[in-house]
Amino acid sequence: MAKVETVLFGFFGSKARIAPKYPKPIHDTIIEPFAGAAGYACLYPHKQVILYEKDEIIAGVLDFLIKSEPEDIMNLPLIPPDKNVDDYDLCQEAKWAIGYWMASAKQNPNKRLSKWATEKREWPNLTMNFWGTDCRIRLAKTVAKIGHWKVYHESWENSERHNDTPATWFIDPPYIKEGKWYRKSNKFINYDDLGEWCQTRNGQTIVCESKGAEWLPFEDLCELKGIGKGRKRSTEVIWTRNS
């Protein structure tokens, strides 16, 4: 698996690890109508990146990171295992941004470091997956590359306003079967409407799902090893087209 150098936050369903497996963007602009941690755009941070995200916490963190300077990130505190983010005088978005690094691949930010964080290394020299010295440096380097990105705290349909000019559309919604864990979950999405909309994008379209989804004629992309206890394997699928 490629080493991930630009990463905003650890997130359930993030494409950071497998972003190199998707087709490369052929346009100057990348649009992610379901942003999450924007793992695909992170592989091409120099592009014009436009993000849409319905969840206010995620949109808030994205906006905070886009507007931060590297020194702002380096000034964020490292939180020892016996403290929590509320012990520090920080804006809410900074607490959330740190909180996503307090445990691995979560839907929601944590307040305290998970016990796995100090399993392999001693605080504050934690692995990159947890909020420690290395992770903070990588995040500072990341924000240095994304100041020109734009995020809208709006639903995917509103990204229609960018369809005049050809762009690379990376469309990664909550999955029709597994996407119930997000606060803005699959139950609010009409996949027939979304499928039709995906076929009317101007430019390059890349749509993500997992095996079994039928709202577009998806093809296998790669196998994924799950995270956590069961480590269930899954097959990621893709629908792509250039118009």
Ligand X SMILES: C[S@@+](CC[C@H](N)C(=O)[O-])C[C@H]1O[C@@H](n2cnc3c(N)ncnc32)[C@H](O)[C@@H]1O
Q: Is 58 one of the binding residues for ligand X (CB under 6 A)?
A: yes
What's the burial of 2, exposed, middle or buried (CB within 10 Å: 0-12/13-18/19+)?
exposed
Of 118 and 240, the one with the shorter C-beta distance to ligand X is: 240
Q: If binding means CB under 6 A, how many residues of this protein chain bind ligand X?
A: 22
d(CA 217, CA 199): 11
- Pattern 156-195, binding to ligand X, x per CB under 6 A? x---------------xxx-------x-x-----------
Of 33 and 124, the one with the shorter C-beta distance to ligand X is: 33
Q: Pick the piece of the chain touching ligand X (CB under 6 A) from 11-19, 94-102, 118-126, 212-220.
A: 11-19
Residue type, 236: E
109: left (phi over 0), alpha (psi -120 to 50) or beta: beta
Q: Is 10 one of the binding residues for ligand X (CB under 6 A)?
A: no
Shortest spacing between CB 7 and ligand X, in angstroms: 9
Neighbours of 199 (CB within 10 A): 12
Strand ranges inside 34-192, DSSP E: 48-52, 150-152, 167-171
Of 16 and 94, the one with the shorter C-beta distance to ligand X is: 16
Q: Is 39 one of the binding residues for ligand X (CB under 6 A)?
A: yes
Place of tokens 């500072």: 140
Q: Is 218 one of the binding residues for ligand X (CB under 6 A)?
A: no
34 close to 128: Cβ distance less than 8 angstroms? no
21 close to 222: Cβ distance less than 8 angstroms? yes
Q: Which residues pair with 48 in a beta bridge?
A: 29
Q: Is 215 one of the binding residues for ligand X (CB under 6 A)?
A: no
Q: Pick the piece of the chain touching ligand X (CB under 6 A) from 50-58, 115-123, 160-168, 216-224.
A: 50-58
Of 4 and 78, the one with the shorter C-beta distance to ligand X is: 4
Q: Is 234 one of the binding residues for ligand X (CB under 6 A)?
A: no
Q: What is residue 46's three-state secondary structure?
A: coil
Q: Which residues of the shown chain bind ligand X in the complex (CB under 6 A)?
A: 11, 13-16, 34, 36-39, 52-55, 58, 155-156, 172-174, 182, 184
